[in-house]
């Protein structure tokens, strides 16, 4: 039997320890966002942090570090005008995870102020590296959904993207609860946000449709389960109507539910032919 010296044994154990630490760090990176600054591919390098540079944290990472995440109150001006949409708010954070400033950079104007006010109240658990950074920035996304029921009732909902804990309450005129079976009319923005399968139109290569371009808008009715039960072209070149309607019938949506009750939807989808 060959004798292994103490020095060789120590070197072997040192290599084994390095591999063990590397494996532990890899597993921790997958499960613990607290070491994101070390493991993430989008993290700033140690040299950058050392120079106290600006750290830009992706929103999907930042929202997992929230301590407080109030959602916006749906503005009355937007409700009365039936405005919904998505607002991006650029924020600057302190090293302690407090929001120092918040500015809406995109989205419908009537929804921007409410989004900024909500973003200023968010608080985060600091990530490693923040204490030596000059500035920490990120972007929060807020979505607003308006549902106008055909019986005159309405529901307005505000949520924070990528943050399931930040769900807005239901606001609107619902004295009798959610009307079962009564469809809610929604904007194209809401339909696109809820779509899980978007079939694209196919135009037959015939002499009658060759080279035709334009837009076709199709009104769809969506069941409680998220399936299109009817589709009708309401505008656009009649020669493209059939292709647009066939495509619309292939769309699938996440079911819409309020207070445990699923509701059908009515909305419009616009297809672009080029």
Structure confidence by residue, pLDDT tens digits, 4-33: 454 554 555 554 544 444 444 333 333 333
Domain co-membership, 205 together with 137: no
Is 170 a domain residue? no
Last residue of a domain, one of 84, 118, 142: 142
* Token pair in block for residue 151: 């019986």
| pLDDT, greater one: 242 or 26 | 242
Is 65 a domain residue? yes
The domain of 261 spans 184-273
Is 36 a domain residue? no
| pLDDT, greater one: 199 or 180 | 199
Count other Cβ atoms within 10 Å, centred on residue 269.
20
Let me know if 258 is exposed, middle or buried by CB neighbors in 10 A (0-12, 13-18, 19+). Answer: middle
Is 175 a domain residue? no
Domain co-membership, 119 together with 194: no
Residues 6+ apart with CB under 8 A from 260: none
DSSP state at residue 125: P
Q: Are strands 265-273 and 184-185 parallel, antiparallel or unpaired?
A: parallel
Is 13 a domain residue? yes
CATH number for the domain spanning 88: value is 3.30.2420.10
The kind and range of the H/E element at 81 are helix 76-81
Residues 258-269, mean pLDDT to the nearest whole number: 89
Domain co-membership, 25 together with 50: no
Last residue of a domain, one of 108, 142, 176: 142
Contacts 24+ apart (CB under 8 A), 151-155: 151/179, 151/182, 153/179, 153/182, 154/79, 155/184, 155/258
pLDDT at 153 over 90: no
DSSP state at residue 239: G
Angstrom distance (rounded) from CA 166 to CA 67: 11
pLDDT in tens, 74-131: 999 999 888 999 999 999 999 889 999 999 999 999 999 999 999 999 999 987 777 7
Is 105 a domain residue? yes
Is 148 a domain residue? no
Residues 151-172, mean pLDDT to the nearest whole number: 70
| pLDDT, greater one: 251 or 4 | 251
| pLDDT, greater one: 66 or 23 | 66
Q: Can you tell me whether residue 68 is helix, strand or coil?
A: strand
Would you say the pTM of this structure is higher than 0.85? no
Give the pLDDT of residue 63: 80
Confidence of residue 164 (pLDDT cuts 50, 70, 90): low
Domain co-membership, 136 together with 51: yes
Domain co-membership, 104 together with 71: yes
Give the pLDDT of residue 210: 61
Confidence of residue 274 (pLDDT cuts 50, 70, 90): confident
Is 178 a domain residue? no
Q: Can you tell me whether residue 116 is helix, strand or coil?
A: helix
Q: Is 193 left (phi over 0), alpha (psi -120 to 50) or beta?
A: alpha
What is the number of structural domains in the chain? 3
């Amino acid at each position: 039997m060959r004798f292994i010296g103490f020095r060789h044994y120590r070197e072997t154990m040192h290599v084994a320890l390095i591999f063990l630490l590397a494996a532990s760090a890899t597993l921790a990176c997958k499960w613990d966002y607290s070491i994101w600054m070390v493991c993430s591919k989008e993290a700033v390098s140690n040299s950058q942090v050392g120079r106290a540079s600006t750290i830009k944290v992706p929103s999907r990472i930042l929202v997992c570090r929230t301590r407080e995440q109030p959602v916006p109150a749906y503005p009355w001006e937007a409700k009365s005008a039936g405005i919904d949409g998505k607002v991006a708010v650029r924020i600057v954070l302190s090293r302690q995870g407090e929001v120092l400033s918040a500015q809406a950079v995109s989205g419908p104007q009537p929804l921007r102020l409410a989004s900024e006010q909500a973003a200023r109240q968010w608080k985060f658990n600091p990530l490693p590296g923040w204490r030596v950074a000059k500035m920490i920035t990120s972007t929060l996304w807020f979505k607003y959904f308006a549902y106008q029921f055909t019986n005159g009732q309405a529901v307005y909902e505000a949520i924070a993207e990528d943050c399931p804990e930040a769900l807005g309450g239901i606001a609107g005129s619902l004295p009798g609860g959610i009307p079962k079976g009564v469809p809610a009319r929604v904007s194209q923005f809401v339909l696109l946000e809820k779509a899980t399968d978007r079939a694209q139109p196919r135009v037959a290569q015939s002499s009658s449709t060759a080279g035709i371009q334009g837009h076709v808008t199709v009104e769809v009715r969506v069941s409680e389960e998220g399936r299109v039960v009817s589709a009708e072209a309401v505008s656009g070149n009649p020669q493209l109507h059939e292709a647009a309607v066939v495509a619309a019938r292939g769309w699938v949506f996440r079911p819409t539910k309020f207070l445990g009750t699923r509701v059908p939807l009515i909305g419009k989808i616009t297809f672009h032919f080029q």
